[in-house]
Structure 1
Amino acid sequence: MNPKFSLWALSWPIFLELFLQTLLGTVDTIMVSHISDGAVAVVGFSNQLFNALNTLFMTIATGAGILVAQRIGMKREEEARTIAIMAVTACASISAAISLTLYFFSAPIAGMLNVSNELLPLWNVYVSNIGAGMVLTGLIAVLGTVIRNTGNTKGPMFIGIGMNVVHIVLNYGFIYGAFGMPAWGLFGVTVSGNLSKLFAAVLLLYMFVFAFERTVRLRDFGIFKLKLFQQILKIGWPLGVNMSCWVFSQLAIYAFLADLGDKELAARTYMNTLESFCFMLGGAIAAAAQIQIAHLFGAGKIRDAYAAAYRALWVGLAFVAVSSILLYLFGRPALGLFTKDGEIVAMGVSLLALNLLLQPGKMLNMALGNALNAVGDTRFTMLASLGSMSIIATGCSYWLGLELGWGLIGIYCCMIADEYVRGAMSFFRWRGKKYLNKGAAQPVPARLEAAVPL
């Protein structure tokens, strides 16, 4: 195997990027908490909305990324280059439309999501301004995804680190009025966020220009090949539905928490930040495994691709178990960094034991789900997500959390059940080797088309 496609070479830059991003995101949350717990609740809730809208362009970005890795494995780099260029153009157009919608319609969206009157002024400030920068978010997502799938995970890592450092420094200035900057509070958070994204988007675009053997020119962004774009959509739209299921279930859960109260909403936001530390290494391994398996599958190394999924799963489970135990032991003082509200801290502490069950389920689901996606079996993961997330993650959360009065504990139990159900389905699907066997029976040039669900 090309050394740059080994699991370690792919995963450690992704992990370092996620770690520093999460660490700086935690500092960001602490800074926002100094404004108010209400500001934290708004940031946490609105981020679920942004995640939901991200799926509109991540459908194309993720599908294109898998195809780029497969085509490079097939030694068809020119087609990989064309796929990447079309993906960047499409994602930029979609995210620009989202930016305009959020900027002009933040208040009506708040009404649809049951945002309380107390939080509405903060919501309008944050959503309209961060929403205006969604075009930058779209560019960062597609450029970073494509570049990583060429085997270069270090470049996006360094840019991601730089983006978050710039964001934290500007946050400090605009929230507290440091360095001679105006003390703008939550509005300052939106300004620093958009400026740091602009910094990252420009650097990623420069890196993308030289990501392939043939330099990408400005006129190349007018390229459109229908057959290749159809393949992006065929492999991408189930991924988009899959991602949509997750983010909309999370958005629904945050809406349920908003009904329970602002403190429950803040507690979930703080716990979500801490849980990110638990899973970041597991998530990096799962993301790296998807790139590696797609490359191996494209190169015709079917047995290696099959074994790579299990190797990633076991390595990821070991790291996730250790990090979950550490959070369980040190979760209370960690929550105290975010808020001094004893009720919010108590809610968060009550979830620490449940997190020990949640994280291994997430690793099982992501490692094998990503493996299925890497070989083109995206329709199965879509159907699994549609069924489990709509019935268990969302429906049962409403039933247990609101109707039966279990509150935050009931919602967490449903989240755990959803991860294990989807993980078990992915395990048996991967063990059946349906798409791997189909790929083994095809000559290399036809393998990609055979793997794309029709």
Structure 2
Amino acid sequence: MWRHQRRPYISEVGLDISGIDQQADLQEEATSVLDSGSKTSLESPQLGIWDLAWPAILGNLLFAVIGIVSIKIVGSLGAEAVAAVTTGHRIFFALQAVLMAVSAGTAALVARAFGARDHLEAAHITSISLWIGNLVAFVLMLPCIIFAEPIAGVFGLDEETTSQAADFIRYLSLFNVAFSINLILGASLRAAGDTKTPLWVGAAINVVNVVFVYLLVFGLYGFPEMGVVGAAVANGLSYIAGAVILLYLWYGKKLLVGVGGRGSITFRRVQQLVHIGYPAAIEQFVFQVGFVAFLWLVGFYGTEAFAAYGIGVQILSISFVVGFGFSIAGATLVGQHLGAKDPDGAVVQGWRATGLAIASMTALGLIIAVLAKDIAWYLIHDEKVVRHTVTFIYIMAIAQPLMAIEFTMGGCLRGAGDTRFPLVATMVGLIGVRVGLAVLFTYLELDVGWIYGALIGDYLIKCIMIIHRFRSGKWKQIFQDTEDRF
């Protein structure tokens, strides 16, 4: 097996000169892990799209299947319970926008460091990101618990559904820090080119999740019967399981990305994370606000239409995860090629990843559309909910090629450090088009199918904007400008 040449990246260790020996040891540890053959490594970005995409797709597919099983379990409690879980999840992730920003900054910086073969810097970035992410997660916990009821009430659902959604948010928020650890370490590993470890850890998380959803929702084998709250606690316990596994592997020096030393926390790294991450935070905030506004409009059509949206998204997640997988692959390869001073290679990999995503998601969307009624009826025996779910799936099947472009090419831009343009595209597409059309259709008192159809306009506009941005090539210089600035 070929061997890396070890280099002391003294200019990157910050101001703590006394820590150079420790950091040199860390570089040696990173090298030994790479040479052990337990992980794939890069001299230049040699990993293919499928090498990176298939573990991410499979891992997310497991999450999607478990999500469907969870919906089946919760669906036995009625449409109100499904609507409560849908609302709770949406609000929980809306409140994690800052964490998503830290994750985006981590991914871009780690991918670039690995592309430049600077594994020590990748370790430092991971360490400081984890500290920041955990602090943010802890701070977010309190408002999630205190304001859960009024936030859940925004959707205008009936009192019982709102109360269940608020309880779901409160309990799930108790596990914020564990969620942060999974998010940050997972992003760092994928950016480094290791998508297999998150796959296996994700499999463990899924097993824990589905077992405890089954036990806690129904109160079986001596466990308390917790209903919707049981689903939240099950989610949280699965986050803890994933966090424990990842931290054990990380501190045990068994991962591709090492543990940073005393020199990890420097003002320059914080500046880089903030500079790349804050547009992603704003994008996530805009996305979640737009999403909440859209679901608020769906709520005007009743609990059944609201529950149908949640069920439809869960079913279609089987297709979505393919796009997420190619998004991760594209972001990683684009970042690493730019780190290796190969912008032309970054362009080629971006287009290849997008083409594969379009073909895969289009095919899956058609298959799901054909089976839509049978799958929906299996998940919930409510004729009105099933009818709305089928309508939603038919509409979204049409949008799959557009979603593939937005997911994958948007991921490529973020991998290059261009987090500002996806923000602009999200503001125009989601707020201007999706919510704007939904408001118009609601005002005209059109059928809920028209509200669902607003998503096509959203993704069409975002695709046009993102393709134009990628073809312009302006994203190639963004990360270098960031490094020069800081």
| TM superposition shift of 1:259 | 2.1
CA distance in 2, matches of 1:140, 1:329: 35
Higher alpha-carbon deviation: 355-364 or 170-179: 170-179
Output the CA distance in 2 between the equivalents of 1:54 and 1:4. Answer: 34
Matched residue of 2:371: which SS?
helix
What one-letter code is carried by the residue in structure 1 that aligns with 2:281? Answer: G
Q: 1:40 to 1:81 in 2, by over 3 A?
A: same
Amino acid at match of 2:333: Q
Structure 2 residue ranges without an equivalent (≥5) = 1-41
Q: Which residue of 2 aligns with 1:175?
A: 217
What pairs up with 1:62-101 in 2 under 5 angstroms?
A: 62-101=104-143
Q: Does 1:416 align with 2:459?
A: no
Long gaps (5+) in structure 1: 440-446
Q: Which moved more, 1:250-259 or 1:269-278?
A: 250-259
Correspondent of 1:372 among 385, 390, 413: 413
Secondary structure of 2:156 counterpart: coil
Q: Which residue of structure 1 lines up, in the alignment, with residue 296 of structure 2?
A: 255
User: 8 Å contact 1:297–1:305 — kept in the other structure?
Assistant: yes
* 2: CA distance, partners of 1:167 / 1:334: 21
Q: Measured at CA, do residues 406 and 22 of structure 1 come closer, stay the same or move farther in structure 2, by a change above 3 Å?
A: same
- Are the aligned partners of 1:377 and 1:451 in contact in 2 as well (CA < 8 Å)? no
1:150 and 1:211 in contact (8 A); partners too: no
Q: Distance in 2 between matches of 1:352 and 1:405?
A: 21
Partner of 2:66: 24
Contact 1:375 1:451 (8 Å CA) reproduced: no
Correspondence for 1:190: 232
- Whether 2:386 is the aligned partner of 1:345: answer yes
CA distance in 2: counterparts of 1:109 and 1:356, whole angstroms: 31
1:364·1:420 contact (CA, 8 Å) conserved in 2? no
Partner of 2:266: 225
Give yes or no for contact 2:103–2:183 (8 Å, CA) kept in 1.
yes
CA offset digits 1:171-210 (Å, max 9, x no partner): 1112223333232222322222222211111111223332
Counterparts of 1:381-420 in structure 2, within 5 Å, are 381-400=422-441, 402-420=442-460
Equivalenced residue count is: 443
Larger helix proportion of the pair:
1
The runs of at least 4 aligned residues of structure 1 exceeding 4 Å deviation read: 1-4, 211-215, 450-454
Name the counterpart of 1:156.
Answer: 198
Amino acid at match of 2:421: F
Compared with structure 1, are the counterparts of its residues 452 and 154 closer, same or farther at alpha carbon in structure 2 (3 Å cutoff)?
A: farther
**1:104 shift after superposition:** 2.5
TM-score (norm 2): 0.86
Deviates more, 1:389-398 or 1:100-109: 100-109
Measured after TM superposition, the shift of residue 408 of structure 1 is 2.4
Match of 1:179, SS state, is coil
TM-superposed deviation, 1:146:
1.1
Q: Secondary structure at the residue paired with 1:118?
A: helix
Return the offset for 1:366: 1.6
Work out whether 1:118 is the aligned partner of 2:160.
yes
Say what the alpha-carbon RMSD is for the aligned residues: 2.1
For the residues of structure 1 that align with 2:483 and 2:360, how far apart are their CA atoms?
31
Superposed counterparts of 1:263-274, under 5 Å: 263-274=304-315
Distance 1:133 1:212, change over 3 A: closer
TM-score between both structures, scaled by the size of structure 1? 0.92
- How far the C-alpha of 1:113 sits from its partner, in A, is 4.1
2:438 matches 1:434: no
Letter in 1 for 2:48: S
Structure 1 residues 352 and 187: CA distance shift in structure 2, 3 A: closer
Tell me the percent identity: 23
- Answering whether residue 278 of structure 2 is matched by residue 237 of structure 1, we say yes
Read off the aligned partner of 1:361 and give its amino acid letter: L
Residues 453 and 355 (structure 1 numbering): CA distance in 2 closer, same or farther, change over 3 Å?
farther
Q: Which residue of 2 aligns with 1:13?
A: 55
